[in-house]
Structure 1
Amino acid sequence: MIEERKDTEWYRRKFLYPNGTLKNKLNIKDAAELAQKEYLGSAVRALAFLRKNKKITSVEDLKKIHKIMFGWLYDWAGQIRDYELIKGDTEFLEYTRIKFGIEEIDEKMRQLASQKELANTDYAFLLDRLNYLHPFREGNGRSSKLFLQAFAANHGQVIDYPRSNKELIIAQNNADINQIARLIKVKSKSKRIKC
């Protein structure tokens, strides 16, 4: 569960029903039912987005992706957070520094944009920074992976993420870029698509 540091009561009123389930446009108050709808709905929208083959250039595109994936369910989808977040023992970038985090990611993407192919470590760096930025209330991992998948498509590449998210989450929480790079597999689109 994600917590808000400064004003927990404000946070609970803004985002949660009294039973702790995230407030949503479908007024679903059962957490398991909401999780299932969210997972399926966001997956369908992610696939539709990938099929459009949009060019990805900055964190502005991440905001659009998050809105596409989760806007049908949450009012706050695509909006950069303006409060502190902690998940378990992991503290994310202070909201007062998010602007600087976005600038760092955008600058790295500009540097990488002209390269024909990118290395695992390039994507690992971006995934690490996006995880620490954690710009949204929920859905950061899924939207960041889609964002980087679309960015990889700009370079004629595909990212294969590990089937189990556990190791990747541990590597991200430890900001271990080398381990993230070992866990993700980057392939040329032409080598991956074989029927």
Structure 2
Amino acid sequence: MTDQELVTRFNYPNGTLKNKLGITDAAELARREFQIVNENAIALLQHADKFPKIREIDQLNRVHRFLFDEVYDWAGEVRAYNLTKGDHFFQDFQTFREAASWINSLLNSANQNDRIAASAYAELLDNINEYHPFREGNGRSTKVFLQLLALQHRQYLNFPLHQDKMVAVFNQDGPIDYETLGQLLNVQELDQ
């Protein structure tokens, strides 16, 4: 799909993402999306015990759909085109099968333990962030997805309010330091 085809498919002429709400002002859409997605995230996490145990990355699609379905027609649909943000190219969609297989192996390994190490959450966060399967809302969906996984292991991820330090870890030269990134996630054990 060409860049122009992507723009035509997903954006109104003024650049605002096409949405179910019919909002054509980007700032207004951002406000409504923020409100809807946060309400849905709270609802999902409050009823986390009803969500199937996190075992595979495909469950991220359900999380994304739950969070964004009121806003976008394509909520929960994995992209079939390449995506960039600034100078960064996310996972090539043609390699999604291999990426999903790798992430599933990380999930399988994490699920072998009663408690998951902070560095394991960090490695999952990095790989899912690079996978980036959706047009929009990857970060928020990933955080809720990982929070569900944590809750299933009687843990809580306290993501930093400001992302500067996390972004710096992702943007450093060389491999990601999962120990440092894990410390920023601040894994907390929940009372049993």
TM-score by length of 1: 0.91
Q: Is the 8 A contact 1:149 1:158 kept in 2?
A: yes
Structure 2: gaps (5+ residues): none
Match of 1:95 in 2: 93
Residue 82 of structure 2: aligned partner: 84
Does residue 16 of structure 2 align to residue 21 of structure 1? yes
Which residue identity lines up with residue 94 of structure 1 in the other structure? D
Q: Which residue of 1 aligns with 2:135?
A: 137
Amino acid at match of 2:180: Q
1:3 is aligned to none
Q: Shift of the alpha carbon at 1:32?
A: 0.4
1:173 Cα deviation from its structure 2 partner: 4.2
In the alignment, does 2:182 pair up with 1:181? yes
Residues 1:11 and 2:6 aligned together: yes
Q: 2:61 aligns with which of 51, 63, 77?
A: 63
For the residues of structure 1 that align with 2:57 and 2:171, how far apart are their CA atoms? 21
Aligned to 1:72: 70
Structure 2 counterpart of 1:17, one-letter code? Y
Identify the residue that residue 170 of structure 2 maps to in structure 1.
172
TM-score normalised according to structure 2 size: 0.92
Q: Which runs of 5+ in 1 are unaligned?
A: 1-5
Q: Does 1:30 align with 2:25?
A: yes
Q: How big is the alpha-carbon RMSD for the aligned residues of Structure 1 and Structure 2? A: 1.4
Structure 1 position 110, deviation (Å):
1.1
- Structure 2 distance, partners of 1:51, 1:182, is 25
- Deviation of 1:133 after TM superposition, in Å, equals 0.2
1:43 maps to 2:38: yes
Query: Counterparts of 1:69 and 1:187 in 2: how far apart (Å)?
Result: 24
SS in 2 for 1:72: coil
What residue identity is the alignment partner of 2:42?
A: L
Contact 1:131 1:172 in 2 (8 A): no
Once residues 140 and 66 of structure 1 are traced to their aligned partners in structure 2, the CA distance between those partners, rounded to angstroms, is 8
Deviations, residues 30-49 of structure 1 (Å, cap 9, x unaligned) = 00000011111000000110
Equivalent residue number for residue 52 of structure 1:
47
Q: 1:23 Cα shift? A: 0.4
Counterparts in 2 of 1:154-165, with a 5 A limit? Answer: 154-165=152-163
Instruction: Give the equivalent residue in structure 2 for 1:113.
Output: 111
Alpha-carbon shift at residue 166 of structure 1 (Å): 2.5
Q: Distance in 2 between matches of 1:99 and 1:57?
A: 16
Give how far 1:162 is off: 0.6
* Sequence identity (%): 37
What is the aligned residue count? Answer: 186
CA-CA distance at 1:178 after TM superposition: 3.4
Superposition deviation, residue 169 in structure 1: 2.7
**1:170 deviation in Å?**
3.2
Kindly indicate whether the alpha-carbon contact (under 8 Å) linking 1:120 and 1:182 is maintained by their aligned counterparts in 2: yes
